[in-house]
Amino acid sequence: MNRLTVPVAILASTALLATAACGNAEEAEPEATSPEATEPAAEVEVPDVTGATLHTSEGDIEVELLAEEAPLTVTNFVELAEGDGPENPETGEAEFYDGTIFHRVIDSFMIQGGDPTGTGRGGPGYQFEDEFDSGLGFDEPGLLAMANSGPDTNGSQFFITVAPTPHLNGLHTIFGKVADEESMAVVDAIAVTETDDNDRPTNDVVLESVTIKHADD
């Protein structure tokens, strides 16, 4: 593993609120809001990982994790997925993402998950800084990125795009890509599921578990 010292903002509260506008995909944005941070920095280890499998109720989604471009974000995702971060406050399980749902789905835009409460108001209890790479942009579908409420307010909520979304450039950290056509077909199928007026699927789409792929696997 490589060691990287980076700022990590630790929150006084665990609340995250997904408040993005619904409707037109060109105007909508994945968001998660939270109170101000209380501690400015922490040291993190960046694992040697290559990807992950999101095991969902609709099928598996294979993703490539971009550890070099977004080391802090990938570290956060891996730690939550593998149970090395805070436990899921709803289930008490160490593996934070297991059993969570895609609580917000907008056709021709994105699918959003990572909230342990499934309400759009949940998170891990901290937030951390954005990571932007000049070689990455929302110019293609199948990008895995962090939901936030503004600069440096990332937590646990993430989204996967189903179309180019250039209006998100410079606003959301991209930390992965859907790895193959079969996985993208699963994402596309989730994106067209029936939803209510709040963009919540009428039948839960569950993220059953996440398997991280390490470089030495």
The residues that are catalytic are 104, 109, 112, 148, 159, 168, 172
Nearest to 80 by CA among 117, 120, 114, 45: 114
* Tokens matching residue 145: 């990125």
Element housing 101 (H / E): strand 100-101
CA–CA separation, 52 and 149 (whole Å): 25
| Sheet containing 8-11, strands listed edge to edge, beginning at the edge strand earlier in sequence | 37-39, 8-11, 126-128
Shortest CA distance to 16 belongs to which of 83, 141, 104, 75?
A: 104
Distances (CA, A) of 142 to 76, 138, 190: 20, 9, 13
Residue recorded with tokens 């994790």: 65
Distance CA(212)–CA(199), nearest Å, equals 29
* Distance, CA of 179 to CA of 160 (rounded, Å): 12
